Amino acid sequence: TRQLIRYRDGGIEKTPWQQPCWGCPAWFVNEKDENDKGVRHILNFGHTFGHALESDSNFTLLHGEAVANGMLIASYIKGYYVELKTVLSKMSCPVVKKINKENIIEFIKNDKKASKNHISFIEVKEIGKPVITNKKIEDLERMLDEYGK
């Protein structure tokens, strides 16, 4: 049986899997949005860095592991980074410590969500509050610099 993993008040709670997307309503996941430009787009949190990490690792990182690490990078200067890292470590998710910034940025520049020097990027200002933004590639470079310190 699949388990749904939730983080509650400092502990991990497992419950039976009942819906796709860890409990997201079906209309949210199934909404017709082939280009991920609407509300479904927020499900891409962590994917910009994640896909680049996955490619840079020659796919030795599993997709979920890469996206989880992308979430860590995206949240590094946010208040919930430590919480997220704690959850991932309790789930035995490997944390990428050494990042080849040049490779990652090159992968991001070739991402389908990139245009010129910008990319559509999901930020989570605080847990439960995602925002679709348009980031400059140089902003992502600075995020990688901060994360790599």
pLDDT for res 126: 79
Cα–Cα distance for residue pair 9/78, rounded to 1 Å: 18
The reply to whether the predicted model has a pTM over 0.85 is: no
pLDDT of 34 over the 90 cut: no
pLDDT for res 138: 94
pLDDT of 33 over the 80 cut: no
| Burial (CB count within 10 angstroms: exposed 0-12, middle 13-18, buried 19+), residue 41 | middle
Give pLDDT tens digits for 99-141.
999 999 999 999 888 888 899 898 888 777 888 889 999 999 9
At 76, phi and psi to the nearest 5?
Answer: -55, -40
Give pLDDT tens digits for 15-24.
444 433 444 4
Give pLDDT tens digits for 73-103.
998 878 788 888 888 888 888 889 889 999 9
The helix (H) or strand (E) run that includes residue 6 is strand 3-8
Q: Higher confidence at residue 40 or residue 133?
A: 133
pLDDT for res 107: 93
pLDDT of 29 over the 80 cut: no
